[in-house]
């Protein structure tokens, strides 16, 4: 038996990355995005969720010049190039913040909490930051 045969069939797991924090106030948004871009290189099922203040990460027109921090919001546009296509935003989180899908820097799937709940319950690995 060859070594690779020992490994059996390739496992594909469902990975969900959950963002609940606003950008810039803390680094979690940026460092989660860095994980997702790496994760995209593995042949796994990747989804990214934005809920609560996490929805602020995707707000258009971020301009960080005056705070001296790096503006990483354009990097969300790279998710598509990396074939990360399951990007979910909770509708209630958007609405209660006075935002709509038009406010966001990338196209996303806006889901009611009840639907998001179902998708969350289908994951194999959930990474939050």
Which residues are at the interface with another protein (CB under 8 A)?
11, 13, 15, 18, 20-28, 31, 34-35, 38-39, 41-42, 44, 51-53, 56, 59-71, 73, 90, 92, 96-98, 113, 116-118, 120-129
> In whole angstroms, how close is the CB of 2 to another protein at the nearest point?
20
d(CA 101, CA 120) in angstroms, rounded, equals: 21
Minimum distance, C-beta of residue 125 to another protein, in the bound complex (Å): 4
Report in angstroms how near the CB of residue 87 gets to another protein at its nearest. 17
Residue placing its CB nearer to another protein in the complex, 78 or 120: 120
Sheet of 45-50, strands arranged across? 109-111, 86-90, 45-50, 14-19, 125-128
Number of residues in the chain: 129
Tell the burial category of 104 from Cβ atoms under 10 Å away from its Cβ (0-12, 13-18, 19+).
buried
Evaluated on CA atoms 95, 100, 103, 106, the torsion sign reads positive
Of 2 and 61, CB closest to another protein: 61
Nearer to another protein, 80 or 96 (CB): 96
């Amino acid at each position: 038996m060859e070594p690779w045969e020992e490994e059996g069939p390739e496992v594909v797991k469902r990975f969900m990355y959950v963002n609940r924090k606003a950008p810039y106030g803390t680094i979690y948004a940026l460092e989660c995005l860095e994980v997702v871009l790496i994760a995209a290189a593995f042949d796994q099922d990747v989804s990214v969720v934005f809920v609560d203040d996490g929805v602020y990460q995707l707000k258009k027109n971020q301009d960080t010049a005056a705070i001296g921090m790096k503006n990483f919001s354009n990097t969300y546009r790279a998710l598509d190039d990396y074939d990360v296509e399951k990007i979910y935003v909770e509708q209630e989180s958007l609405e209660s913040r006075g935002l709509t899908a038009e406010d966001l820097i990338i196209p996303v799937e806006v889901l009611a909490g009840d639907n998001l709940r179902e998708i969350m319950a289908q994951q194999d690995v959930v990474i939050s930051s």
